[in-house]
Structure 1
Amino acid sequence: MDIVIKLSQFLLSLSLLIVLHEFGHFIPAKLFKTRVEKFYLFFDVKFSLLKKKIGETEYGIGWLPLGGYVKISGMIDESMDTEQMSLPPQPWEFRSKPAWQRLIIMLGGVTVNFILAFLIYIGMAFAYGDLYISNDEVKDGIWVTNPAVEKIGLKTGDKIVSVDGQKIAHFHDLNEAISMAKTVEVNRNGQNQTINLPVNFISQLLDEGKRSVVELRIPFVVSDIPASSQNKELKVGDIVQSVNGKALQYADQMPAELEANKGKTIPAIVLRDEKQVAVNLKVNDSAKLGVVYPWKLPVDNLEKLGLYKISEEKYGFFQAIPVGLSHGKEQIASYGRQLKAIFTPSTGAYKGVGGFKAIYDIFPHSWSWEAFWNITALLSIMLGVMNLLPIPALDGGHVLFLLYEMISRRKPSDKFLEYAQLAGFIMLIGLVLFANGNDIYKAIAK
């Protein structure tokens, strides 16, 4: 059932984005009286699952879920219809329209992507508001669980002062900020110090198989007790509050106590059903308890335990507009920084590039409209930015040639555009193979 829910969200989100992107091309084409021969969700290589012709346009659903397209008459696109291009230009064809109209048609798809993302963020600000933990509320510092983060010098208990000289207001923004940063200023034992991050820090994170940079410090909560565990006195949900007479506020304090008492049975106090209960913990020779505890807890649980204060902001409709617009701009800038890192080989960020499985994996196992719309908005931005790249076969490639035509007053020849389209298509196939190959490699390596 979990797979069905994830897959449903994945397909609904991608279908929505593809259809709206193509409508972004379709609508201005129709406004400028340009014939649209096909409008397809997914690709109909050799055959389609569903099709119906309405007027001059065939609408359909293809069987190959790698995107979608509109086929505009008189345009050199992925269909590579050279036969049509060899005939004299017709007034309803794309190539017969003024350059400024062709430019609007080509920019229509990405324009819709960005508008959609902004509208979703405005709607989410209005419907859900903001729920966050202020970085100032993290009084006892961060929890470092990633070996790559320890190597660069960050330690559990450090308080993040700034990242690249900028204050980070919300704790949940720290992971991305630090992963893309050059310097991090921390307060350690009352003293501020600056940590310089290596150029390939992203690569080091990916090599560890964990994207998380820092976590909130949480209590030692028993989440599972395997049948082989020697600690049957414990129960799922127990919160260990002290070990061998020493107070234990956070889970990261447990390993040192276990290491000092390995092979022994030690007294402990746990919080169970809001009551303190005395138990004995058996520590094995490997300094383990044989129970499972989580790396994260729901934020509302953390507030109930009195560890962190959750801030909540609600917005009226008109208040939500600037909040949503601001969030959208931040996400576009963030994705731009990620792309820059990916195309800079020294960062190693290209290792994190993923294909359809990576997109599928970010959807939750249970249905959540809040998560769905948040992911869809992010994917819409990604689709818009990616399509603006100046690669032939992408909208950005067509825009590049149109801008050249408008500036130079010379139109590239159809033969040149055909070769460019073919080169761009080969390049895109290579990128798709690389991204999805990365997914396969990571699945095998895991």
Structure 2
Amino acid sequence: MDIVIKLSQFLLSLSLLIILHELGHFIPAKLFKTRVEKFYLFFDVKYSLLKKKIGETEYGIGWLPLGGYVKISGMIDESMDKEQMALPPQPWEFRSKPAWQRLIIMLGGVTVNFILAFIIYIGMAFVYGDTYIANSDLKDGVWITNPVMEKIGIKTGDKIISIDGQKIENFDDDTNMKVIMAKEILIESNGQQKTIKMPTDFVDQLSKHEKGFLIDTRMPFVIGSIQDDSQNTSLKPKDLLVTLNGQEAKYYDQVKAILSANKGKTIQAVVLRDLKQTPITVKVSAKGTLGVVAGGLDIKSLEKLGYYKVSTKEYTFLESIPVGLAKGKDRLIGYGKQLKMIFNPETKAYKQVGGFAAIYNIFPSSWSWEAFWNITAILSIMLGVMNLLPIPALDGGHVMFLLYEIVSGKKPSDKFLENAQMVGFVLLIALLLFANGNDIYKAIMK
């Protein structure tokens, strides 16, 4: 069932992005009286799953879910229709239109992608608002869950003051991404502030360890269930550890450290049970465990227990507009920084480039509209930016040649454009193989 839910979200998001991107080309083409021969979701190599011709355009769904396309008459594109291009230009063809009209048609797809992302962020701000924990409320610092962070000098209990000179006001999902992209982080450790210089190959180092949050809020140790072979029958599900061996055990990381120091011993403990502190005796195994499966608490329960103060900011529709625009801008700048890292060999970030499997895996296994729209907005920005790259066969390649034509007044020959299209196609296939090859390699090595 989890696979069905993830796959449904993946295909719905992908289909939505493809259809709207291609509409971005289709609508201005129609406005400029340019004939559109095909409008397809997914590629119809050899055959289509569905197709219907309405007017001069054939609408359909292909069987290969690697994208989609509109086939515009008189345009050198992935169809490589040389026979049509050998005929005299017709007034309804793309090649017969002024350069500025052709430029608008080619920029239509990425324009829709960016507009869509901003609309989604505005809508999410209006519907969901912002939920966060003020960074100043993390009195006991953060929880470091990745050994790479400890290696560079940030440990559990430290406080994150600023990232690249920008003060961290709130702790939320964006914090981890800011850390990944950071050049330097100012922390407070044991009452002293110090600056951590991030290694150039930080992303590559992270890839060698388990995925997940690098930095998280410190959580209590809650008993989820008791293992069958456990010697600690005095423990019950939902118990929350308060002290162990006379030491404070407020957080999960403290519990693990105390248990590790008392392997094979019988020690005293205090648990919070039904909101009452209850003293018990527990046996620590030779491996430093209690024979239990740790559970978790939602953020509201943590707030009730006094661990954190959770803030939720709601916006009117008008207020949500600048909030959504600001979030969209931050995501766009953030993705630009990611691309810069990927194209910098020193970072080795190119090793983390993923294909369709990587995109599929970012969707949750339980349906969440909030998560779905957030991921779709990010993917829309990614699709827009990637399509703007000046690679022949991408929208950015066409735009590059059109700008050359507008500036120089000289139109590249059809033969040159055909050759450029082939080069671009080979580059795209190579990138596709590299990205999806990375997915396969990670799956094998996992």
TM tier relative to shorter chain: over 0.9
Distance in 2 of aligned mates of 1:107 and 1:362 = 28
What amino acid does structure 1 have at the position aligned with 2:236?
K
Report the more deviating stretch, 396-405 or 296-305. 296-305
Report the more deviating stretch, 316-325 or 249-258. 249-258
Q: Deviation at 1:211?
A: 4.6
Question: Is residue 274 from structure 1 mapped to residue 268 from structure 2 by the alignment?
Answer: no
What amino acid does structure 2 have at the position aligned with 1:280?
T
Give runs of aligned pairs for residues 410-425 of structure 1, distance below 5 A: 410-425=410-425
Give runs of aligned pairs for residues 53-72 of structure 1, distance below 5 A: 53-72=53-72
Determine if contact 2:248/2:254 at 8 Å carries over to the other structure: no
Give runs of aligned pairs for residues 37-436 of structure 1, distance below 5 A: 37-172=37-172, 173-293=174-294, 297-436=297-436
Report the more deviating stretch, 253-262 or 18-27. 253-262
Q: Deviation at 1:302?
A: 2.1
Q: Deviations over 1:24-73 (max 9, x none)?
A: 00000000000000000000000000000000000000000000000000
Distance in 1 of aligned mates of 2:383 and 2:237 = 43
Q: Deviation at 1:275?
A: 2.3
Distance in 1 of aligned mates of 2:373 and 2:221 = 33
What amino acid does structure 2 have at the position aligned with 1:56?
E
What amino acid does structure 1 have at the position aligned with 2:155?
K
Distance in 1 of aligned mates of 2:132 and 2:117 = 21
What residue ranges of structure 1 are gaps of 5+ in the alignment? none
Distance in 2 of aligned mates of 1:413 and 1:230 = 81
Q: Deviation at 1:12?
A: 0.8
1:262 aligns to what SS in structure 2?
coil
Distance in 2 of aligned mates of 1:420 and 1:228 = 67
Q: Deviations over 1:206-240 (max 9, x none)?
A: 11132522111111112343334333332232211
Q: Deviation at 1:164?
A: 1.2
Distance in 2 of aligned mates of 1:38 and 1:293 = 55
Q: Deviation at 1:412?
A: 1.0
Report the more deviating stretch, 101-110 or 121-130. 121-130
Percent of paired sites with the same residue:
70
What amino acid does structure 1 have at the position aligned with 2:320?
A
Q: Deviation at 1:280?
A: 2.3
Q: Deviation at 1:257?
A: 1.2
CA RMSD of aligned residues (A): 1.3
1:292 aligns to what SS in structure 2?
strand
What amino acid does structure 2 have at the position aligned with 1:422?
M
What amino acid does structure 2 have at the position aligned with 1:60?
G
What amino acid does structure 2 have at the position aligned with 1:231?
N
Q: Deviations over 1:141-170 (max 9, x none)?
A: 111121111110001111111111111222
Q: Deviations over 1:75-107 (max 9, x none)?
A: 111111111111111111101111000000000
Report the more deviating stretch, 405-414 or 273-282. 273-282
1:223 aligns to what SS in structure 2?
strand
What residue ranges of structure 2 are gaps of 5+ in the alignment? none
What amino acid does structure 2 have at the position aligned with 1:96?
S
Q: Deviations over 1:92-149 (max 9, x none)?
A: 1101111000000000000001111111111111111111111111111111121111
Determine if contact 1:40/1:62 at 8 Å carries over to the other structure: yes
Q: Deviation at 1:361?
A: 1.3
Q: Deviation at 1:297?
A: 4.6
Distance in 1 of aligned mates of 2:100 and 2:259 = 71
Match of 1:15? 15
What amino acid does structure 2 have at the position aligned with 1:287?
G
Distance in 2 of aligned mates of 1:231 and 1:384 = 56
Determine if contact 1:205/1:211 at 8 Å carries over to the other structure: no
Distance in 2 of aligned mates of 1:437 and 1:170 = 38
1:103 aligns to what SS in structure 2?
helix
Distance in 2 of aligned mates of 1:195 and 1:303 = 31
What amino acid does structure 1 have at the position aligned with 2:374?
N
Distance in 2 of aligned mates of 1:322 and 1:35 = 38
Shift of the 412–224 alpha-carbon distance from structure 1 to 2, 3 Å rule, reads: farther
What amino acid does structure 1 have at the position aligned with 2:185?
V
1:220 aligns to what SS in structure 2?
coil
Q: Deviation at 1:354?
A: 1.2
Distance in 2 of aligned mates of 1:93 and 1:445 = 50
Q: Deviation at 1:441?
A: 1.4
